[in-house]
Structure 1
Amino acid sequence: MATELELKLMVQPEYLKSACACLDAFCEKMNDGGQGSINVRQPTLDLMNGYYDTANGLLMDNGIALRIRAVNQQYIQTVKTRGSSRIGMHERGEWEWRISSDVLDLSLLEEVPLPEALVDMAWSRDLVEVFRTDFKRHVWLIEYEGATIEVVCDQGVVSSSYGQDDISELELELKSGPELALYQFAKHLAAELPVQVSTVSKAQKGTRLKHRRIEFPTKPNPTDSLQAFAEYWYETWLVYWEAMFHLKDEALLQPILSSIVQLQKCTPESVATPLAALEAKFESLFEDDDSSLLSKLAGTTDTGVIMLEVGYWLNKQLDKTQ
């Protein structure tokens, strides 16, 4: 088993070419500067993935994603768990096996510590392919601030009998080194590209096609710490932001503004000040009542930079308490 730590960034399709160019330029600059050849672009992949579950979504309800990936005429069976929260990042267990065909080998799941509701394997008789993700993946291996990071740029679709959704994102996965280097490199990218933090996995996108449900974080108890409320309002902001573009509903900017206002109350001045500036910018755009509001919001770099700065601060506070 491997533990996957990943930071996902939303990027609208019209900016994907710029994202690839930015990563190519970073590798060229670092290598020309004598920083070593680890900063390289790797071969582009066409990935076809089938996700399996019961008709009533028993695996997903228990935090399990089960898929078969076809790549370069080989098949890989993967299990991912929901994992633990890392404030804006995805941290989860991952098991992978090479298999001979596109047929699940459920005997391999003996290695996986399944939740109690799944241990008897009775559900295995009812598995069906519930959705697919098919996308092109551009890959870079990056060395930054003492960390080795795999950066991928994915473009494609997730589809099922209930419809389809676009895949358009960057993923930064930590291979070795300090965890917060993910945020540092993401901030480097966000300074040049209009990207924003996303907490919605491809598996969640597939499940959402059926249930049409947006997943929100659990609100803290009134007696919980300011840190807990800061985490809650930050993740609520991220959820509404992704939902606004998924639903193409600019009215969701209003709860985004409310989340940012609440977040300011839970953070020190050094964090609250840029949040207030972003709030003012959003208020101005919202009051314009412009039909191009979503396009303008998607094209600014301010949002991603501040999202990452707040996420970086929250994770540093988390490290202090562990």
Structure 2
Amino acid sequence: MQTEIEIKFLVADPALGDPADSMANKLDIFLNSLTVVDHSEVELGNIYFDTRDLALRRLDMGLRIRRSNDFAEQTIKCRGEGLGGLHARPEYNGPVRGELPCLADFPATIWPQGEDLAALQAALVPQFRTDFLRRHWLIAWEGAEIELAWDRGEIVGQEGREAIDELELELKRGSAAALLTLAESLGAMPGLRLGVQSKAQRGYRLAGLGKALVARPLPQRGDLDGLSPRQQIALGLEQWQHHEQICVLQQDMAAWPDLVAGLALIAQALEHSVAMGEPAPEWNKAMAPLLAELAQLDEAGRRRWLARADYVVLQLAIIAWLWQ
């Protein structure tokens, strides 16, 4: 077992003003400033499995078989933590025999007590697939080893297909703090935004099995009062990023007020935190000017703002503060 700790970025939609085909040049410049220990690329084909009634999804597990020219392995990812694009999940890998994963090959301790593993195994069916070229670089950074992977390909489900164009930073050895500082450096590159959803989450949606992205209001003030300032900041970040996805992926700017509401909650909760004696983080200085700026933007200005790198760096600074 290993705990996968990674941060995902999506290459911005060209409609937002940053052509995806320029990412190769930007990435070359970024990598030339780093110590790259190793570099390779591989074509990967992945099939994700679940039962027809989504028993694994209810357990917050993801199951796949991954194949390339040189290897085939089965992987199951278990319930973990997610925070605004930073993901930490236990995962188990092993060799695969045949066309279906073998659940009995994974440790018995990962299953809830009383789970009928034989019935679960018999009910497994393919749900969707992802196929992509992965270019990856192993980077030495602040005493850690971090893999930067660039995945380009597609997700295919029964309801359609969707492009994959993602950068992922995965911690191989060292501290999560090092991962976060490298992420802030990468996030300053124009043309990226944080990827909140995994390939599996996107795949379930394309298979007709996932929840649609819809706007959602913040809880009422009375419900928020039961949360600590840090919990409110985490909720505000989730609100911001959820509605950012709607604005960008669905080109639906009607979600903009809910996005701004998430930012306003972050500012209010941080003010409360400081009033309670917690030191103000450096990113606190950006909140009031940012909210004032957003209040003045027309729709074209809002679209331009969604393509900027400085707000991505702000998200990463908030994530690092919450994660510590």
Letter in 2 for 1:114: W
2:212 counterpart residue number: 213
Letter in 1 for 2:7: L
Match of residue 306, structure 1, among 309, 314, 321:
314
Following superposition, the deviation at residue 304 of structure 1 comes to 0.7
Other structure's SS at 1:180 match: helix
1:167 counterpart residue number: 164
Please give the per-residue CA displacement for 1:263-295, whole angstroms capped at 9, x wherever unaligned: 10112564333133333443333x2x33x854x
User: How many residues in Structure 1 have an aligned counterpart in Structure 2?
Assistant: 305
2:228 counterpart residue number: 225
Other structure's SS at 2:190 match: coil
Equivalent pair of 2:133/2:153 in contact (CA under 8 Å):
yes
Equivalent pair of 2:12/2:193 in contact (CA under 8 Å):
no
Do the aligned partners of residues 254 and 166 (structure 1) sit closer, same or farther apart at CA in structure 2, a change above 3 Å counting?
farther
1:265 counterpart residue number: 268
* Consecutive unaligned residues in structure 2, runs of 5 or more: 275-279
Other structure's SS at 2:269 match: coil
Equivalent pair of 2:217/2:258 in contact (CA under 8 Å):
no
* Consecutive unaligned residues in structure 1, runs of 5 or more: 32-36, 317-322
Equivalent pair of 1:278/1:302 in contact (CA under 8 Å):
no
Equivalent pair of 1:264/1:276 in contact (CA under 8 Å):
yes
1:279 counterpart residue number: 291
Cα RMSD, aligned residues only: 2.6
Equivalent pair of 1:278/1:303 in contact (CA under 8 Å):
no
1:28 counterpart residue number: 32
Following superposition, the deviation at residue 298 of structure 1 comes to 4.4
Give 1:29-108 correspondences, 5 Å limit: 29-30=33-34, 38=37, 40=38, 42-86=39-83, 88-108=85-105
Letter in 2 for 1:284: Q
Deviates more, 1:234-243 or 1:168-177: 234-243
Do the aligned partners of residues 201 and 115 (structure 1) sit closer, same or farther apart at CA in structure 2, a change above 3 Å counting?
farther
**Normalised TM-score (structure 1):** 0.84
Following superposition, the deviation at residue 128 of structure 1 comes to 1.0
Do the aligned partners of residues 217 and 180 (structure 1) sit closer, same or farther apart at CA in structure 2, a change above 3 Å counting?
farther
Do the aligned partners of residues 45 and 282 (structure 1) sit closer, same or farther apart at CA in structure 2, a change above 3 Å counting?
farther
2:180 is the alignment partner of 1:183: yes
1:8 counterpart residue number: 8
Equivalent pair of 2:49/2:126 in contact (CA under 8 Å):
yes
Following superposition, the deviation at residue 67 of structure 1 comes to 0.5
Match of residue 114, structure 1, among 92, 111, 121:
111
Following superposition, the deviation at residue 178 of structure 1 comes to 1.5
**Normalised TM-score (structure 2):** 0.84
Following superposition, the deviation at residue 88 of structure 1 comes to 4.0
Please give the per-residue CA displacement for 1:125-165, whole angstroms capped at 9, x wherever unaligned: 22111111111211111111221110111122212112223
Other structure's SS at 2:283 match: helix
